[in-house]
């Protein structure tokens, strides 16, 4: 190879590398920055939630009461932090053994669509008793992946927000 051919090959490799890096950077720029908490709406229940963002959780988890499975369907009552209760019946997406601080349990999953600041994403959500926890909805990695970058220094739902309180109405309520 002569000098000119070598220079052209080097330039071509540089251009390909630059294009690949530029594509990666452009893809990264599309990700939205999200803080420790987020206000979201779940389409199927038509309710808003103040949700906890948890990069340590593999999947998204929703507080649900009276969960019953029958013929491939899951009936349950979704409850948000305001105590609003919505009965639902959705197809069973899967069941899985989930390990948490409370031990290992079998969890039921359904597909739901979560909206946040102009974006929508359908994810598999496990239904769980979160009544003793501050947030009725936990956004896990399955919701975050490919869409969000977490900045723990940011809090989109502040502590003075009246909707960010423990869920006493849920713990004290009865299934209706």
pLDDT in tens, 115-164: 999 899 999 999 999 999 999 999 999 999 998 999 888 876 433 343 44
Give yes or no: residues 65 and 4 share one domain. Answer: no
Give yes or no: residues 6 and 74 share one domain. Answer: no
Give yes or no: residues 78 and 13 share one domain. Answer: no
Strands 37-42 and 103-116: antiparallel
Local confidence band at 108 (pLDDT 50, 70, 90 cut-offs): very high
Give yes or no: residues 71 and 131 share one domain. Answer: yes
- The domain tally of the chain equals 2
pTM score above 0.75: no
Give yes or no: residues 25 and 36 share one domain. Answer: no
Q: Which domain holds residue 11?
A: 1-30
The pLDDT tens digits of the residues spanning 42-80 come to 999 999 999 999 999 999 999 999 999 999 999 999 999
Give yes or no: residues 163 and 95 share one domain. Answer: yes
Q: For the domain that residue 107 is a member of, what is the CATH number?
A: 2.40.70.10
């Amino acid at each position: 190879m002569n000098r000119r051919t070598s220079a052209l090959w080097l330039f071509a490799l540089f251009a390909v590398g630059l294009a690949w890096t530029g594509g990666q950077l452009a893809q990264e720029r599309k990700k939205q920055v999200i803080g420790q908490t987020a206000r979201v709406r779940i389409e199927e229940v038509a309710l808003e939630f103040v949700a906890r963002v948890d990069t340590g959780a593999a999947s998204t988890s929703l507080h649900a009461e009276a969960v019953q499975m029958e013929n491939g369907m899951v009936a349950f009552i979704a409850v948000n932090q305001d105590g609003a209760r919505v009965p639902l019946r959705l197809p069973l997406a899967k069941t899985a053994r989930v390990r948490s601080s409370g031990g290992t349990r079998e969890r039921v999953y359904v597909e739901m669509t979560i909206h946040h600041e102009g974006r929508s994403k359908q994810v598999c959500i496990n239904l769980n008793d979160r009544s003793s926890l501050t947030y009725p909805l936990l956004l896990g990695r399955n919701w975050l992946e490919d869409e969000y970058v977490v900045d723990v220094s940011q809090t989109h739902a502040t502590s003075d927000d009246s909707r960010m309180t423990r869920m006493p109405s849920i713990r004290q309520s009865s299934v209706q």
